[in-house]
Amino acid sequence: MAGRLSQYGALALIVQLASGCSDSAPPPPPVANSAQAAPGATPVADGKLVVAFGDSLYAGYNLDQGKGLAPMLEKALAARGMQAQVVNAGVSGDTSAAGLARLAFTLDGLARKPDLMLVGLGGNDMLRGLSPETTRDNLDAILAELKKRDIPVLLTGMLASPNMGPDYAAAFNPIFPTLAQKYDATLYPFMLDGVIGDRALQLPDGIHPNDKGVEVIVGKLTPIVAAQLKK
C-alpha cells in the first residue's frame, strides 16, 4: 500500500493543479448517467433502492455509459439474485461542502426513502488542501441528516496522499472511521483499494478508475452492499 500511495501522492498534486475547480458555488444537482435512473425515478417494484452519493469516483468520470459505479453495482447485485436499483447521485468535482448543499434536494427528489446510501466525499477536499476539520464537519452533517431520516449508510473512505504531509494525513485519515463509528455506519476504508497504483486499472490521470478499475471496486463493494441490504 505504501508504494501505491506514493504514486498516488505524486499524481494527486498534478490532478490538484489541473483541476482548476472553483469553490465559489456548489455544482447543480446531479443528473443520473450510469444506472439510467434520475432521483425521481420509480424504484424497482418490491426491490431495494440504493443511492450512490459522492464525487467523480461515483459519477463514472470519463467512462462509457453503463460503466460507472452505479450501473456496475446494480448489475453485480442482480447477478447475486438481488433485485435492486442503484441511483447515480455522484457529481464530479464535488467537495464535502457541495455534497452537503445538495443532500436534501437529492433525498427529497427520490420516489421513496433509500434502503441504503453510499456516501463517498472528501477526496476533492484533500486534493485542494481544504481543512480536514471542515471536511469532518461537513461529513458529520451529512451523516447526521441521514441518521435523522433513518437511512442506513455505507461510507467509502479516502486517504490523504503523502504529498499533503504527515500532519495533514494525521488529521484527515481518521475522519472516516471516526464518523462511521459515531453514526454506526458501515465503513469501506479506502475507495481506491486495489486500483491506485495499477495503471491497467486507471484512466490516464492516474487517479480515476477505468472500467476495469470500477469492476475491481464493485467486486469488493458488492458483498458489503448485499449484506447491508439483507439486514
Q: How far apart are CA 59 and CA 71, in angstroms?
A: 10
Q: How far apart are CA 192 and CA 209, in angstroms?
A: 8
Helix (H) or strand (E) holding 151: none
- Is 64 part of the annotated catalytic residue set? no
Q: How far apart are CA 145 and CA 179, in angstroms?
A: 13
Q: Are 172 and 160 in contact (CB under 8 A)?
A: yes
Please identify which of the residues 55, 94, 96, 208 carries the catalytic annotation.
Answer: 208
Find all residues with CB under 8 Å of 58, minimum gap 6, and list them. Answer: 52, 68, 69, 70, 88, 89, 90, 118, 120
DSSP state of 43: P
Please identify which of the residues 34, 56, 92, 96 carries the catalytic annotation.
Answer: 56
Q: CA–CA distance from 118 to each of 49, 87, 142, 187 (Å)?
A: 11, 10, 12, 10
Q: How far apart are CA 133 and CA 55, in angstroms?
A: 19
- Is 56 part of the annotated catalytic residue set? yes
Is residue 176 classed as helix, strand or coil in its secondary structure?
helix
Closest CA to 71 of 46, 29, 36: 36
Please identify which of the residues 137, 198, 205, 211 carries the catalytic annotation.
Answer: 205
Report the catalytic residues: 56, 205, 208
